[in-house]
Chains A and B, each alone.
Chain A
């Protein structure tokens, strides 16, 4: 299984329990729409990231379904409520069987 691309993720290192945190995630990917033609007029085959998910402490907290109209190097900003210290697992899947996983940690303190 190949990699989708290089992931860049921003998650706060620390948060208070109950705090709404901001998460940013980007992956390097051409997001080739399938509508472009190459220099000899042949369509360039579609190659896109189809799904992006974020799991926090084993529970899915965000899921995106992407279509060709998402820009090159897909980027998402979203939020979640800090509940427990633990792992945030980010997963991107593309339409050629590529999967990239990135893990970030967060320390959550009592209020």
Chain B
């Protein structure tokens, strides 16, 4: 079929068919590596629901009391600053026992868990996390009375996935 390629060579076919194929193959390979780096995930909300069930069983989680601070647009998904605070007096009788962070589309939805108590004085924790793709991040707080409260924030990620 080489005979059909007498028309002026396009920039891509400059090096002949072999080169184009190899380049295309390399490109496809690079894309493939990128995709392979993150194992195929289940549907995001299902994955989040499964992670929440694993952590808290079938207990009710109510939106509120928790403030989750994340940039709306994260340029680098590998280092995203996060701050979670909970509206709590942090007394012996009424305090936050733990805070849990989840990412619905990360290969593993659990990000981190921290344990606090009345000695914390203030229910506020900051860290830096990886976000594989634009998605919703959820924070859940377990209070001393056994109730669960949550907040969720949608984060758009510019450079993502591969660097995880």
Binding site for B on A (CB under 8 A): 20-21, 33, 35-37, 41, 56, 59, 61-72, 74-81, 83
Interface residues of B, dominant DSSP: mixed
Q: In whole angstroms, how far apart are the Cα atoms of A84 and B83 in the complex?
A: 28
Of the candidates A56, A64, A69, the one whose C-beta lies within 8 Å of that of B110 is A69
Of the candidates A68, A70, A75, A79, the one whose C-beta lies within 8 Å of that of B121 is A79
Whether B124 sits at the interface, judged by CB under 8 Å, is: yes
Whether B7 sits at the interface, judged by CB under 8 Å, is: no
On chain B, the number of residues with a Cβ less than 8 Å from chain A's Cβ atoms is 36
Q: In whole angstroms, how far apart are the Cα atoms of A74 and B98 in the complex?
A: 19
Beta-carbon contact of A67 and B112 below 8 Å? yes
Beta-carbon contact of A76 and B79 below 8 Å? no
Beta-carbon contact of A69 and B36 below 8 Å? no
Whether B25 sits at the interface, judged by CB under 8 Å, is: no
Beta-carbon contact of B128 and A67 below 8 Å? no
